[in-house]
Amino acid sequence: MGWIDDKNNLVQQINLSEVLGDLPDNKLISNIASVKSTSFNLVPFLLDLMSIACKDTSNGAKGCLPSVGKGANPSSSKGAKCDVLRVITEILVDFFPVLIRIVKEGIIKGIKAGLLCPADFKIPSLSLSTSVELKPDEFDSGKLTTLDPTVFPASLFFGEPDKDLNVFLANLIQSGVGSTGNWKNLLNFEVIDYAVTSGGISTTDLGLLVKIDNSFVGKEFDVFLKDYMNSIELFNFDNFIPNLMEEVNGSISNILNNSDINYDFSIDKATDKEKVGKMVEKILDTDPCEEDFSLSNNFFTFNSDELLDIEAKAKNRLNGQKIFNYSCTPSVTSNLEKDLKIFNNSKELIKEKPSEVKSIIKSNTNRMLDDMANRIGFGEIENIKKSISIDLALALPKLSTSLIFTPKIMVLFQVAKKLVTNQTYPEPNTVNLNSVNFTFDFAVANRVFFEYVVRESGAALLEILYNQVKEEILKIVACIVAVLIKEAVNKKIQILKSLTGGFNKVSGLIPIKENNISQFL
Amino acid sequence: MAKLGCNDVNPNEINFKQPRSILNGLLSLFRIPTTTSGSVAPKQLILASKSRPGLSAKSMAANVIQRQAEAGLNVGPLGTGAISPAEIMEKIRMEEVVKAITTQMKIDLAVTPGGTSVVSGTAGPIPVVGNAIITSILGGNAIAS
């Protein structure tokens, strides 16, 4: 069966329960865009499916899909529990630990696959292969370590000092040449002067000498990878939604660009970012298990239409804007500082009441979405919020992928590459390192690693969504089974009654009081 | 290029890197197990079915029209006083259904072996009567009315 047919069949199966449980809803399956889509990215489809299948008994409805039928509350076609906005917010907030766990595992798999390394070898004692000198762009093309992790809005990029390696490295590098540090007995760092030639002029920049801690000599590389990933905070929970917003519209970068802080987020860098985003979309739009699938150059080259789209999005990103297609008319929304300060201002509150962190983040997210939707100012607010929240969910794999370009993963990648191949990225005479196009070039040059991280990130989101949808579908199926059993029992009773009671010839046709149609019968 | 993630999990589990695996997983949730149902009624009661009147298209149409209200449809004449075409259509539909069942429906019978039968004959000059077990499957045809 075809891809679209399969999706259609699934929606029909769910709608069938309406017939079995109550009366059919006039839902036009063909109107669901994600069903008709030929893309293999199932995130939009699962979000739609969740919305269709969600069972909310709070509105007093009856039947297998209680949001329809006689008992449904006419003022609310879907209860609050089934609201897509709520579903997405809960997925982003409640399933954060699951997401982090799967993405961490994905990064480890990606490193092993990208380096064609089974990782069961033991780390040698030779200091040559266990230490690596990195130029600034080779571990921090985004200049994250030049920012002050304590000052808003840069603080939104960072996590807790004792958990986030990016904070550790920013503090270390800003302490100047010669500064040294040890990260949780895993890696030793030293800030070094690194000769850089730019425009024919030779200067020096702050580089990093990284060495695997001696305590890991003789231990399996796989153990090192796992211990390393367990030692770092992948995302800071408090800053997760702001970083998702940064992924959607470049909001944090835009505020930094417009501040006194020396942060050079140029149109070229914005284009680089959009190109990587497009590659993520292209990869997730495909099924890697199709017979004729190969990660060809088509994934890393763009036609003129794609380039125009990338250019337009890059310009918007530079301005901290995003066009939301919540209706036929695309709209731009931005009041970046206000959006992000909602989260920054609640950090103290979270410290005071750590047990309420989830509800605070959810409340902040809803407030931000409300503000953004109201700023657009026309159309149906709920639809605009839904559109923005779906964009946030779709940005999740891109955010996870962006993470690999930050120092905490780039350092690990470079150390692993040196250990396995005795080289770092870029290998000599292969790619001219250009900090502006670094992320795109890196993704192209390390496509297996990149594809793996993208697919694992997408799979993490899909797994969470799948389990949510499954829970709702099983409720429907349980309801259908109950209906079928009841029907079978009733049928048997009717048959037995008809056999024992006989046919009442006197009664004949049942008279219909409401309507006399006897002249037509 | 390697097929990334295609063989990562047990084939019986969902592979979240493979979109088709996810869809198949969701579709499999709708597979409702079926069990064989026993006999609908004791054989003696089934014999009573000969007193049934048979299908009536008019009676069925009347029952369906009466229940139209459950689907939120009006029962009765239109505002103009004319009979609703939908109700006339219901009568036509039922007539066609009954016509098809009574004139085209085919029922093939297969009687389960193991039943007993009285057999009689002679053993030389002596008449003999006895019981026999039917070992073959008996067939037959029936019509619905």
- Say what the pLDDT of residue B1 is: 40
- What gap in Å lies between CA B92 and CA B83, rounded to an integer? 14
pLDDT of residue A505: 46
Residue A223 near residue A232, CB atoms below 8 Å: no
Length of chain B measured in residues: 145
pLDDT of residue A228: 96
Closest residue of chain A to B16, computed from CA coordinates: A459
Cβ pair A137, A325 in contact under 8 A: no
Residue pair A457/A396 in contact (Cβ under 8 Å)? The answer is yes
Q: Do A520 and B2 make contact, defined as CB atoms within 8 angstroms? A: no
CA distances from B75 to B72, B81, B94 (A): 9, 12, 17
Task: Name which of A335-339, A509-513, B121-125 the model is least confident about.
Answer: A509-513
If pLDDT is split at 50, 70 and 90, which confidence band does A376 have? confident
Q: Tell which of B3, B16, B78, B87 to mutate to test the A interface (max A CBs under 10 Å).
A: B16
Flag if B88 and A41 touch (Cβ within 8 Å). no
Q: Which residues of B72-90 are buried (b: 16+ CB within 10 A; e: fewer)?
A: eeebbeeeeeebbeebbeb
| CA torsion through residues A471, A476, A477, A481, sign | positive
Q: Provide the 10 A C-beta neighbour count for residue B17.
A: 26
Q: How confident is the model at residue A409 (pLDDT cuts 50, 70, 90)?
A: very high
* Bridge partners, A181 (sequence order): A189
3-state secondary structure of A61: coil
Please state, in angstroms and rounded to a whole number, the distance separating the CA atoms of residues A169 and A146: 10
CB contact under 8 A, B66 and A512: yes
Q: Work out the average pLDDT over A247-256.
A: 90
- Residue A298: pLDDT band by 50, 70, 90 thresholds? confident
Q: Give the residue from A112, A117, A2 showing the smallest Cα distance to A456.
A: A112
CB distance A26 to B44 below 8 Å: no
pLDDT at A126 > cutoff 80: no
CA A50-A54-A59 angle, 5° bins = 150
Q: Which residue of chain B comes nearest to A492, CA vs CA?
A: B40
CA atoms of A348 and A304, how far apart (whole Å): 48
| Average pLDDT of chain A to the nearest whole number | 81
Q: Shortest Cα distance from A167 to chain B (angstroms)?
A: 32
Handedness of CA A134, A135, A141, A145 (dihedral sign): positive
Q: Cβ A514–B83 below 8 Å, yes or no?
A: no
For A510, which of B6, B37, B63 is closest by C-beta distance?
B63
- From the list B37, B51, B75, which residue is nearest A515 (CB)? B75
pLDDT score recorded for residue A65: 58
Q: From the list B22, B51, B87, which residue is nearest A42 (CB)?
A: B22
The C-alpha atoms of residue A115 and residue A418 are separated, in whole angstroms, by 10
Q: Highest-confidence range of A36-40, A322-326, A405-409, by mean pLDDT?
A: A405-409
- Closest residue on chain B to A451 (Cα): B4
What pLDDT was estimated at residue A29? Answer: 47
